[in-house]
Structure 1
């Protein structure tokens, strides 16, 4: 009587463990070789698949971890959105009045050292205005409106610039949005990168120790930076038409976050 025993490759793989840590995905490859992996081989990033696909045996003799670094910076820019609207008996008159009012607003901004390149038209609309009377709808006039997005690069003078632009446009002007942004991220971004890499290294060292191995050289680094997005600003006083005093503005803070995936070999 013949007896046949068969073993699958999966059943014989004892040296690969995949760990998911709270700080990100971690993959540990424990092969018989202690040399660093070949960076030209198949992408190491594949071991971080979100579907938790099993790591192929001897995929690499090392550890892949993710590290995160976050640095808080002070915004250096304000993004202002304003709308100018004018109503007249006909389309042509409404558009002409709008052009004159928006021209006054833009001249005010330019006079307060806001570059033309930082003044961008973000919308233009014109349409009829209706009124209901006795069950009958009639056209009472036409409204023309234009949206302008303005980048203010001097936070100290931004309040006065906003008030002056509002006064130039008069009752036709409406401030519809104001947010802060951090555009000069070189300093905070550099610090966040250092913090992210150090976070990854600490995690890798811990896993290597748990696996009974010694952490080796860095084989690969991949970065995913989280660029700061504009956030609403705290305007403590309403921007009224014809305002002449500077609007008090709170700039707040902005976070710069960097995430790195680092592949370490074993020593």
Structure 2
């Protein structure tokens, strides 16, 4: 686990007076009680191995007519789907996430507008891979069967409860260290925690090494090596302590 400390927000605020309940002996009302608050934020991080990956593969084709372009893409996309299923990926983990068909233009003579020179069709498939050993084979199966665009591999977590808890624990520890350091510098003591607010938990996958790269010709390919690395889980908290001044010049117990 690696700790990441961010800039903290410190607020010393005077809380609203607390009225005592009931009169004091002798008939006089209780005086208002005032106390000060120290607010400190903390951040924490946990790094864990991912347990799933998302692979995006695409087929792109150009042809003189829209029908030809779409037919080429349909044929290649079906071959890609069949190949990915043969790797052992269930059909429900494979989803078509992009379809497009657009005319291609060329600039004509000055007295004419742009003219259509052909059509470009595309089909993008997103594959959820829960066995990380199959990420490379899925990529290879797609590229060798007709995919000519690899739009990235993103690693993530299906079960992230333990990582989230570890990041939150680290964030609380960070906030406490800051509060204790500030208390020493300000010569006050931390009396009790009056409020804890979670700032949120985020999961940052490692950057994809494949995004935006075009596929090589199938006959020139070798097996695609894939390293999953680690997924970072970050959390932040804000904690408010009631504080009291240290007595005189003596130690603050």
Q: What TM-score does the superposition give when structure 1 sets the normalisation length?
A: 0.68
Q: Are the aligned partners of 1:161 and 1:246 in contact in 2 as well (CA < 8 Å)?
A: no
> In 1, distance between residues paired with 2:109 and 2:178?
75
Q: Are the aligned partners of 1:78 and 1:153 in contact in 2 as well (CA < 8 Å)?
A: yes
Query: Does the alignment pair 1:253 with 2:230?
Result: yes
> In 1, distance between residues paired with 2:178 and 2:142?
53
The 3 A distance-change label for structure 1 pair 30 and 209 is farther
> In 1, distance between residues paired with 2:104 and 2:140?
29
> In 2, distance between residues paired with 1:113 and 1:59?
67
Query: Does the alignment pair 1:103 with 2:78?
Result: yes
Matches within 5 A, 1:42-61: 61=36
Q: Equivalent residue of 2:204, what SS?
A: coil
User: Please, which runs of 5 or more residues in structure 2 have no aligned partner?
Assistant: 19-32, 245-253
Matches within 5 A, 1:205-224: 205-224=180-199
RMSD: 3.4
* 2:11 paired residue number: 27
Equivalent of 2:60 in 85, 108, 119: 85
Equivalent of 1:240 in 216, 222, 229: 216
> In 2, distance between residues paired with 1:93 and 1:107?
21
Q: Are the aligned partners of 1:160 and 1:245 in contact in 2 as well (CA < 8 Å)?
A: no
> In 2, distance between residues paired with 1:213 and 1:132?
75
Q: Equivalent residue of 1:219, what SS?
A: strand
Equivalent of 1:152 in 120, 129, 135: 129
* 1:13 paired residue number: none
* 1:128 paired residue number: 103
Q: What TM-score does the superposition give when structure 2 sets the normalisation length?
A: 0.71
* 1:51 paired residue number: none
Q: Equivalent residue of 2:168, what SS?
A: helix
